[in-house]
Amino acid sequence: MSAYASLAAHFGRIAAMSNAVGILQWDSDTMMPKGAAASRAESLALLRVLQHEMAADARIGDWLEEAGGDATLGEWERANLREIRRVWTAQTALPADLVEASSKAISACEMAWRQAREDSDFPGLRPYLAEVLHLQREAGAAKGERLGLSPYDALLNDYEPGGRSATIDALFDDLAAFLPGFTQEALEAQARRPTPAPLEGPFPVEAQRGLGQRIMAALGYDFSRGRLDVSTHPFCGGADNDVRITTRYDEADFAKALMGVIHETGHALYEQGRPAAYMNQPVGQARGMVLHESQSLLMEMQACRSPEFLDFAAPLMREAFGASGPDWQADALWRRYTRIERGFIRVDADEVTYPAHVILRYRLEKALIADALPLAELPAAWNAGMKELLGTVPPNDRLGCLQDIHWPSGGWGYFPTYTLGAIAAAQLFDAACRAEPDALPGIARGDFAPLVGWLRTHVHGQGARFSTDELLTRATGRPLDAGMFKAHLARRYLG
């Protein structure tokens, strides 16, 4: 067996393990009875240790060296070697005692966070968060040393390979200068229109589920390789050829679940559309979190808050809920689903105000990792940033710096990918609509094939073959660029 074949077989086994973990994690969040939590935690911990051991196997280094000189390999195989090396480096960069200490600190901090958030008690969280931060900084330093990156860039690199804070700074500074004035202008335009009263429910769960499934099918989701279920926190998970999404239903407001389903379907289309021949290889995985988030936001924000989508969806909504009248016409629904407001909570934010939440978190976490901001000053810095970027200050830390689980759970470096994803979504959607003139008109007919076909070719089917910027340049003519995002916002909210 050639060194390349040995690597491919080995990473195929790692994928088989990762698929097992993915389904068990999905089950924990959707199906598992409460009393099984402790047994399940042991199974997942065991499988994750084995997966780590497989991905850190010393033979990988020898195989990589030998395969590097294999002149028979094609372009995909060479890209696979590059991705294998990336995965292997990440798995071997951290000393085992740091991994263990970090895992314990995160468990303790997550538990403390649940209570601290409830009590709006930042001082109660601080010692736990300080420990997580300290260990994240160490992890960033250890990885950074291997990769020649700053600690923050090394952390970011785990979620967005190739992502660099220098690039993000430029993009976010530009947006931070643009957004406050734009938001004010958009709110003023909105104030000139009447505020719609809430649609009258209840909207039965079964009807919501049926509507969601119908729209998933229209978007091109393959139900023979996935499922739709219910969980407290919606997600897209599962395994290769088994991409499962979840939502949660509110009988008073069907739009939350529906827009959530569309968002997760965007993620799922990326996963289902990865290259079949490399499905279980590193090069066949999604490129990174920026492009992943771009696919969910392209569907949720670009495609499915368009007037064209509501031309298609309004009759389905009326049919699902037996509704009628002027509030249920496409244009009224479109106005309703493109309303904006200044809020405190990121996950409830609209597409205009969302970037401000992200820019704030990005700036703060970068400063914390660089030790340029004392942790004790986080609440004050948060509130000052909210004032600057959003023009509003939360009344307490529960609605402020305690709202997200990312920092307590060790997800430092993740936040910027949300807004980078929104930027990429606008750029890709624009390119798709230019390349496929039937993309938007198709949506109005419920035919997403022109749009999704383009995404399959230019994004999903490329796996991790190119860097994010290289993929974007091939697909749209330029690397990540906020121009289309700003143009999209102006068209939709000032038009």
CB of residue 87 vs a copy of itself: minimum separation in angstroms?
Answer: 18
C-beta closer to a copy of itself: residue 28 or 392: 28
Structure-token match 């729209």, residue found? 215
C-alpha–C-alpha distance, residues 237 and 212, integer Å: 18
Contact status: 280 vs a copy of itself (CB under 8 A): yes
C-beta closer to a copy of itself: residue 222 or 253: 222
Burial class (CB in 10 A: 0-12, 13-18, 19+), 370: middle
Tell me how many residues contact a copy of itself (CB under 8 A): 37
CB of residue 29 vs a copy of itself: minimum separation in angstroms?
Answer: 13
Quickly count: other Cβ atoms within 10 Å of residue 371's Cβ: 12
CB of residue 217 vs a copy of itself: minimum separation in angstroms?
Answer: 14
Quickly count: other Cβ atoms within 10 Å of residue 166's Cβ: 8
Contact status: 217 vs a copy of itself (CB under 8 A): no
Secondary structure E strands in 199-355: 226-230, 236-239, 242-247
CA dihedral sign, ordered 58, 163, 125, 370: positive
Task: Figure out which of the listed residues 2, 5, 9, 42 binds a copy of itself, where binding follows CB under 8 A.
Answer: 42
Question: Radius of gyration (Cα) for the chain, nearest Å?
Answer: 23
- Residues known to be catalytic: 264
Of 340, 325, 390, 332, nearest in space to 361 by CA: 390
CB of residue 40 vs a copy of itself: minimum separation in angstroms?
Answer: 7
- Confirm or deny that 263 is annotated as ligand binding: yes
Q: Are strands 226-230 and 242-247 parallel, antiparallel or unpaired?
A: parallel
Contact status: 23 vs a copy of itself (CB under 8 A): yes
Q: Which stretch binds a copy of itself (CB under 8 A): 42-50, 305-313, 318-326, 407-415?
A: 42-50
C-alpha–C-alpha distance, residues 4 and 480, integer Å: 33
Angle, CA of 28, 354 and 118, to the nearest 5°: 50
Task: Figure out which of the listed residues 31, 177, 277, 345 binds a copy of itself, where binding follows CB under 8 A.
Answer: 31
Task: Figure out which of the listed residues 6, 27, 190, 337 binds a copy of itself, where binding follows CB under 8 A.
Answer: 27
What residues from 237 to 266 belong to the interface with a copy of itself (CB under 8 A)?
Answer: 239-242
C-beta closer to a copy of itself: residue 31 or 111: 31
Contact status: 20 vs a copy of itself (CB under 8 A): yes
CB of residue 260 vs a copy of itself: minimum separation in angstroms?
Answer: 20
- Confirm or deny that 458 is annotated as ligand binding: no
Q: Residue 237 forms beta bridges with which residues?
A: 244
C-beta closer to a copy of itself: residue 56 or 259: 56
CB of residue 103 vs a copy of itself: minimum separation in angstroms?
Answer: 17
C-beta closer to a copy of itself: residue 40 or 318: 40
Q: What is the 3-state secondary structure (H, E, C) of 388-432?
A: HHHCCCCCCCCCCCCCCCCCCCCCCCCCHHHHHHHHHHHHHHHHH
C-alpha–C-alpha distance, residues 191 and 212, integer Å: 31
C-alpha–C-alpha distance, residues 183 and 253, integer Å: 25
- Confirm or deny that 52 is annotated as ligand binding: no
C-alpha–C-alpha distance, residues 365 and 153, integer Å: 11
Per-residue tokens: 303: 């495609």
C-beta closer to a copy of itself: residue 40 or 486: 40
Binding residues: 263, 267, 293
Annotated binding site for Zn(2+): 263, 267, 293
Which spans of this chain sit near a copy of itself (rule: CB under 8 A)? 12-13, 16-17, 19-20, 23-24, 27, 31-36, 38-40, 42-47, 50, 222-227, 239-242, 279-280
